[in-house]
């Protein structure tokens, strides 16, 4: 079973390695579902972890239909990931009608090689998952990250299982979104997946002694400068135990 951990900072990448994850998806901006991290972060993570590092290529939050300016940015970000020795990149581009933008995706995949390439959850916003599956295979993606077009993967297990059958080894299908200790066994047993994607999120207190009581989240009431997002290595180990058990039963 391959465990991919999504991480949003350097500390989390180190914690994922401590928990013996197999791969990390390195992103920025968790509140927007992940965007491209800084080059400095990519370089630092690459130099300090031995795991496979897949980098999110997403110039902004929101939808997955991009302007020519944004597409050019994605190409340049892929170039930088190659220079920084990333192992893979993660992206997805859609047409206005909810289909995979095969022309642009194929161009990015060609540019990214020999890096591995994952189609992220833009897949979950397509109009027809089986049409999108064939399109992803056609343009050359190595895997698809999907929740089965539901908010959480546990709700989309039937579709994920069908996608895995339809793929028939032509592309990897990796469940993600809401995969945790309470859902992983059901997801693995029902889909027969060989890899899973999750966050193993934890928070720790800031090291700051002085804390301005008048500001939290730089004006955003949901945020806090005094709680830092990280990864719990013990959660990763527990998830491997549960996923391996479910896989052996399945």
CATH code: domain of residue 223:
3.20.20.380
Domain count of the chain?
Answer: 1
Query: What is the pTM assigned to this prediction?
Result: 0.94
User: Of 140, 89, 138, 94, nearest to 118 (Cα)?
Assistant: 89
Torsion of CA 126, 140, 184, 6, to 10 degrees: -90
Query: pLDDT value at position 22?
Result: 98
Q: Which of 108, 102, 73, 71 is nearest to 89 (CA)?
A: 108
pLDDT at 214: 79
DSSP 3-state assignment of 103?
A: helix
- Are the CB atoms for 181 and 239 separated by under 8 Å? yes
What span, in angstroms and rounded, lies between the C-alpha atoms of 146 and 4? 13
Domain interval for residue 111: 2-249
Distance CA 133, CA 120 (A): 12
pLDDT averages per 10-residue partition of the chain, 250 residues: 97 98 97 96 98 98 98 98 98 98 98 98 98 98 98 98 98 98 98 97 92 72 77 98 89
């Amino acid at each position: 079973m391959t465990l991919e951990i999504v991480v949003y900072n350097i500390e989390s990448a180190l914690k994922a390695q401590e928990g013996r994850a197999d791969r990390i998806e390195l992103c920025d901006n968790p509140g927007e579902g992940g965007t491209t991290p800084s080059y400095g972060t990519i370089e630092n993570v690459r130099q300090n972890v031995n795991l496979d590092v897949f980098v999110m290529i997403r110039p902004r939050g929101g939808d997955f239909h991009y302007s020519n300016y944004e597409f050019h940015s994605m190409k340049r970000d892929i170039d930088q990931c190659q220079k920084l020795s990333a192992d893979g990149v993660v992206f997805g581009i859609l047409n206005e009608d909810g289909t995979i933008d095969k022309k642009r995706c194929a161009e990015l995949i060609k540019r990214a090689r020999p890096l591995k390439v994952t189609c992220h959850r833009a897949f979950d916003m397509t109009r027809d998952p089986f049409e999108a599956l064939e399109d992803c295979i056609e343009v050359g993606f190595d895997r698809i990250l999907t929740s089965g077009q539901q908010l959480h993967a546990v709700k989309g297990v039937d579709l994920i299982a069908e996608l895995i059958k339809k793929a028939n080894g032509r592309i990897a299908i990796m469940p993600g979104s809401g995969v945790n200790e309470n859902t992983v066994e059901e997801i693995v047993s029902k889909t027969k997946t060989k890899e899973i994607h999750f966050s193993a999120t934890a928070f720790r207190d800031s090291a700051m002694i002085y804390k301005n009581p008048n500001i939290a989240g730089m004006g955003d009431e949901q945020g806090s400068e005094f709680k830092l997002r990280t990864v719990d290595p013990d959660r990763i180990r527990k998830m491997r135990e549960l996923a391996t058990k479910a896989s052996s039963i399945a």
